[in-house]
Structure 1
């Protein structure tokens, strides 16, 4: 009888301190879910890199010469993105967002390959969340400023004789419009990534 009690006690102690208890304190299911979560975040980063680079490339290549007919006079026109502070602002923010997203993507892929946590701590998670949110607001601001310039080029100035500059410079205006569209898409992707960060913080 004492031997039976002794064997049962040993078995109980083995289940409490033996190899059945995970070393990390997280079950295998949670680890698998975390890896899928990290892969989804990497896909969002990749999409942000592509959209911000497209916004940057299209704006930098926005340049055209044309001719405007005004009151019987033919005026030569030349338009380039660097002639506007708002468009320069969009170029700068797009480059910063692309660099930030590419860096985070490379770090994420590296950690996924090594099978280590992409976000090692809550403090690190809060830092990434703050960065994503700041860049999302900056991209929204830059896109809105550039959209105002594009609208002015298409409609002219009210109560004056200034015409629609986008008629002779249609290629320039089209590139600006597409670039601004990708800028707003980058903003939405950064906002979605920030939401991912918050959900990760709430889970762990």
Structure 2
């Protein structure tokens, strides 16, 4: 009208922040991304529950009778997981890890279904991180202690008459070995969860 042109308005830019499992955004276009991040957390917890419970179950059912020859005499032999403090330690730690992981799984699963953040606050993130860190070290300790006993059973004591106990007790030793392997795998899963906890803390 007055000869002056009104410059066209610049289109409004929509700033979209990719949602991580620590931060929740209600935008429907981000539902797929957020769900993937949250599901990673849930899957890790689920796997940790399965591996720790399986390791515990294999250990507490490890027992066997057999016979061993020592100095020409056939001696009856019986072994059970509770005879070794290291194996009892594995059972205790795996049980605690299973309870911790199951609790975190229930909390995470509920929040995923409610489309809410898995981690609600910085203090919550630190609490989860501390729990994961403690149980990771406990699993390393338990697995290492049990590995030493199992290795001794398989090789015997060099330069002595103490034999390889795993020859007549192969079923027992195999169950213990698988249990220890799953203990270390649970440790690996918790270590990954610990890394995710650190990422959450840095985002909050």
Question: TM over 0.5: same fold?
Answer: yes
Distance in structure 2 (CA, Å) of the matches to 1:41 and 1:116: 13
Compare the two structures and name the one with the higher helix fraction.
Answer: 1
Q: Partner residue of 2:54? A: 54
Q: Partner residue of 1:126? A: 126
Say which SS state the counterpart of residue 78 (structure 2) adopts: strand
Moved more, 36-45 or 194-203: 194-203
Gaps of 5+ in 1: 2-10
> Aligned-pair distance for 1:149?
0.5
Say which SS state the counterpart of residue 77 (structure 1) adopts: strand
Distance in structure 2 (CA, Å) of the matches to 1:157 and 1:55: 27
Distance in structure 2 (CA, Å) of the matches to 1:187 and 1:96: 13
> Aligned-pair distance for 1:124?
0.5
Paired residue total: 189
1:87 aligns with 2:106: no
1:150-161 alignment, distance < 5 Å? 150-161=150-161
Say which SS state the counterpart of residue 158 (structure 2) adopts: coil
Say which SS state the counterpart of residue 67 (structure 1) adopts: strand
Gaps of 5+ in 2: 2-8, 17-22
Q: Partner residue of 1:142? A: 142
Q: Partner residue of 1:102? A: 102
Say which SS state the counterpart of residue 164 (structure 2) adopts: coil
What value does the CA root-mean-square deviation take over the aligned residues? Answer: 2.5
Distance in structure 2 (CA, Å) of the matches to 1:52 and 1:95: 7
> Aligned-pair distance for 1:116?
1.5
Distance in structure 2 (CA, Å) of the matches to 1:72 and 1:131: 52
**Segments ≥4 residues shifted beyond 4 Å:** 24-27, 29-32
> Aligned-pair distance for 1:25?
9.6
Say which SS state the counterpart of residue 159 (structure 2) adopts: coil
Q: TM-score, normalised by structure 1?
A: 0.85
Distance in structure 1 (CA, Å) of the matches to 2:24 and 2:154: 61
Q: TM-score, normalised by structure 2?
A: 0.85
